[in-house]
Amino acid sequence: MKTRTVFAATAIAALAVTANPAFAQDESTTGGVYVSGSVGVVVADDQLINGANAAGAPRRIITDMDKGTNYALALGYATKDANWGRVRLELEFAGQQADLRALSLNGVDRALIGEPDKSVKSGMVNIFYDTPAILGPIRAEFGAGIGRSKIDYNIRYNVSATGPAIEIPSDPSQGAFQLMAGLSGRVSGGLELFTQFRFLQINDHKVERYNRSAGTLDSILDAEYSAKSVNIGLRLNF
């Protein structure tokens, strides 16, 4: 999935909502329980994995990620619409995955082995503020979430053409937070279409670096993870 595909779908969906008068006939909602789901494109930031081995030799690894996929599922509750807008609270389960494009160790590019990647699964409590309608049925939404994320590292590379082969297989679980901003519009009845820009930050954590050729643990390094994504999805109000 490409970023431009998501932006194009978002633009088409927004035009469809605003162009059809039937969609704007009932802009009010009584509030209540809803479920939502979204998918999109994620771009993980360059990640620094840094530290030293037992002998004090530096291990400074920088990973460059390709674009990946992102999804989110949520169960929430929305307050009744007022002239100032509404508030929503939700429980969310989300995930993202992206392949490594390049990796450097101590400033030198290394050859990747196989198809290394990183994947993240998160459980979040989110709070949103939704504005009143600002363009037909379209409203803006702003949110923040806090919770826990589990990041699975599946990184393999060669230090040189002849080895040794290195692996980072860690799967730490750590506290995380996210920020969201987007637009939403009623499609029909209790169904809303929305698009969001999302930023996820996972707190500092430890990863293990193994020398697979020697069968030994080389070092335990410090890392943190952040990523940006653009999602498009549907929200069904009951």
**Average pLDDT taken over every residue of the chain:** 89
* pLDDT tens-place string over residues 134-178: 988 899 999 999 999 999 999 999 998 888 999 999 999 999 999
Q: In which band, very low, low, confident or very high, does the pLDDT at 31 lie, cut at 50, 70 and 90?
A: confident
Which residue in 125, 170, 116, 175 sits closest to 149, CA to CA? 175
- Let me know: does 91 contact 47? Beta carbons within 8 Å: no
- Rg (C-alpha) for the chain, rounded Å, is 21
* Structural contact between residues 198 and 180, judged by C-beta atoms closer than 8 angstroms: yes
- Report whether CATH 2.40.160.20 matches the domain 3-237: yes
State the burial class of residue 20 (Cβ atoms within 10 Å of its Cβ: 0-12, 13-18, 19+).
middle
Residue ranges of domains in the chain: 3-237
Closest CA to 54 of 233, 172, 211: 211
pLDDT at 195: 97
- The 10s digit of each residue's pLDDT in 85-100 is 999 999 999 999 999 9
Tell me the C-alpha distance between 65 and 43, whole Å.
7
pLDDT score recorded for residue 30: 67
Distances, alpha carbon 14 to alpha carbons 20, 94, 131, 141, in Å: 10, 24, 16, 14
CA distances from 43 to 1, 69, 88, 153, 165 (A): 12, 9, 27, 16, 27
3-state SS class at 58:
strand
State the pTM of this model.
0.85
d(CA 47, CA 227): 10
